[in-house]
Structure 1
Amino acid sequence: MFSGIIESLGRVEAANFDAGKLMLQVATGFPDLTLGESVAINGTCLTVVEFDAQGLAAFYASAETLARTNMGALRQGGLVNLERAVSLSTRLSGHLVQGHVDGLAKLHSITPEAGAYKIELLLPPHLAKYCVEKGSIALDGISLTLNVVTDLASGEALIGLTIIPHTWAHTNLQTRAVGDLINVESDVFAKYVERLCKP
């Protein structure tokens, strides 16, 4: 379980694709990793399968993970958002994030505004239904608040968010461009409510 508060930016040292899977090496900067530990990389919960004292860690991503996330676009030198799993003593500054990506949204616009950035993303119908104004969403693992949710005739939704300067400077949103695909994890409570309300 995670909180959506990004701890640091990691650098992809290697991204090796083979037979539908990905072996990923990331310079995490975490010197005290443990084997089997969960780390959210761009909001995707992955397991540490190798590590060294400098924080270089290896992760395995399955075909299922590659199909649902933007992990397939990772390349050597790229920056990724990193968060280690929360503990029972951790402050929940963001919201409850599982690290289970529901799908992808397309970055529609980026507009600088008074030192911050307003961004818009286009969400497919299966994700749009879980979005409400002032609700929570995780984008590439970042816990964010929805400012605007505009439902479109296609069933998609255009969502608007404000990215404060701190978040922009300390996440990989600063490297994103219009048209990029962003990992989305919907609010898990909305999914439970939907399931419980079905006849």
Structure 2
Amino acid sequence: MFTGIVTAIGTVTKSEERGDLRVRVACPYDPATIAIGASIACSGACMTVVEKGGAAGDSWFAVDVSGESVSRTAPGMWNEGARLNLETALKLGDELGGHIVTGHVDAVGEVVDSEDIGGSTKLTIRAPKDIAAFIAPKGSITVAGVSLTVNDVTDRDDGTCDFTLNIIPHTGDVTTLGDLAEGDSVNLEIDVLARYLKRMQALAG
């Protein structure tokens, strides 16, 4: 489990096809604190550490990304040079600063507008119809691994929806959200309660 509070930005330094995709990520973590088999959320996708190395402040870890994971995450996020929001798994007793995040990507959204408002950034993201009903004003959502609060939601005739977020300068600086521009793709995870409601709705239907 995660909280959606990003603790570092990593950079993909190597991406190699080995059946699954073996991805090496450079990061500032202390490798002594990363266990082989540990979970790290990479821009919202929970991955298992299979290798590690380097030194504190200049380390790396590697993960195996299945074809299923590649198909369900934002295009290009596993390419060499891509920057990833990183979060290590929640430990018992840790502060829950964001909201409960599973690290399972529900859908990929598209940035349709980015507007500077008083120093903050107003992002508008289009969500596919599969999850549109589970995004609500003032509800929680995870965007590229970052826990955020939805401001407004506008439903569209094709079943998709546009939702807005306010990205304060600090959040933009310590995550990749400050780099987003119109047309970019982002991993989305709906709130865990909405996930259960979605399942109940499917069974009821």
* TM-score of the superposed pair, with normalisation by structure 2: 0.92
Bigger mean CA offset, 182-191 vs 73-82 = 73-82
Separation (CA, whole Å) in 1 of partners of 2:23 and 2:165: 30
Counterpart of 2:67 in structure 1: which amino acid?
A
Matches within 5 A, 1:137-148: 137-148=141-152
Q: CA deviation at 1:74?
A: 2.9
SS in 1 for 2:137: coil
Counterpart of 2:6 in structure 1: which amino acid?
I
Per the alignment, residue 135 of structure 2 pairs with 131
2:151–2:166: 8 Å Cα contact kept in structure 1? yes
Per the alignment, residue 149 of structure 1 pairs with 153
- Residues 78, 72 of structure 1: CA spacing in aligned structure 2 closer, same or farther, 3 A cutoff? closer
Identical positions, percent: 37
Separation (CA, whole Å) in 1 of partners of 2:103 and 2:122: 24
- Residues 75, 194 of structure 1: CA spacing in aligned structure 2 closer, same or farther, 3 A cutoff? closer
What number of residue pairs does the alignment pair up? 198
Q: CA deviation at 1:70?
A: 1.6
Per the alignment, residue 29 of structure 2 pairs with 30
Could you give the per-residue CA deviations for residues 32-62 of structure 1, whole angstroms, max 9, x where no partner exists?
A: 2110000000010000000014221111000
2:142–2:190: 8 Å Cα contact kept in structure 1? yes
Counterpart of 1:29 in structure 2: which amino acid?
P
Moved segments of 4+, more than 4 Å: none
- Residues 40, 125 of structure 1: CA spacing in aligned structure 2 closer, same or farther, 3 A cutoff? same
Matches within 5 A, 1:157-196: 157-196=161-200
Could you give the per-residue CA deviations for residues 117-170 of structure 1, whole angstroms, max 9, x where no partner exists?
A: 000011110111110000000000000000000111110000011001110001
2:46–2:103: 8 Å Cα contact kept in structure 1? yes
Q: Over the residues paired in the alignment, what is the CA RMSD in angstroms?
A: 1.4
Counterpart of 2:37 in structure 1: which amino acid?
G
